[in-house]
Structure 1
């Protein structure tokens, strides 16, 4: 999938590591997204578009228009009309513009009811769609933060501790090869089985190096 991630990152003067820290993604994964070697999930694409304040369509090179302005009532009405007749779709708008338009709709219900009743249905749909997307984005972001934190902890245990003998809390658990094999076997036996094994492990008595 062709994207403008690298172009926008450089435009904002960010390194891969800096962008990765801001959106909670490993910089090596971002590098692969930029070169097209891997395709990011939709939730991440939407969040990247949100971060750079561009539309999803612009980010994935399906449009050359970054966003739409709603700096006045007339621009908000015009954008609703474009949405109503299908000339603009939800993904043509940045997250910031979607939120602004949703707030504008909430604050101008009387204007819409009295002068643009034909737009009320589209306005209501747009508000619900914006709320739903915000909830979905929050869910994906929280999931990614948890996963990225886990990756960092694994890296510290398996890489940093392995290379440093002078640490206060040395790690005595499975090494990188063991972890890889557990992941492969976990995939082979299925999620329910490997979760059952993990529960059994949690119930076992703790091991100490002096045992």
Structure 2
């Protein structure tokens, strides 16, 4: 097992749900991170879907040091480099390209690349990746597909993201090849807009208490 795999494994097994968030400002990112930490969630994926994402990553690193902050929706090597410079502690991509893999080889920041098919999973395994994002999870077969993959490619563990919610999260967490899930429901837009940080803390506390045996 590579050092990158070990570091990523430590991050993803520390909690059952990694919040996947888009933030409108650095201050919003910091408040959100603090609310999640208060509920027992210790890592977050800030997606590069908003102009404020990189600034938010820097601010979270500086002001909420107990939160492990990663960068998501990384589509290009330039974004990879920008996220790394901002202090992201892990990088998440919805897929995997040669260019993204090359960027990851030259970086100390572990990459969680996305996969959707057995062929993609096999290709990533050959590249040395034993932990993958399964995306978009619900739309491509959900927990049933991952269950069927487990005995065929047992070396790979997954973080399913996309359509995962409290309604189906236990279906995923009960699988032997799922380490955790990525979820946006911990930071719903209405609660963020209303600055309902206490409500987000409660959602985080509920998610932090999940396990596969529930």
State TM-score, norm by structure 1.
Answer: 0.30
Structure number having the greater strand percentage: 2
Structure number having the greater helix percentage: 1
Larger RCO: Structure 1 or Structure 2 (Cα < 8 Å, ≥ 6 residues apart)?
2
Q: Which entry has the higher C-alpha Rg, 1 or 2?
A: 1
State TM-score, norm by structure 2.
Answer: 0.29
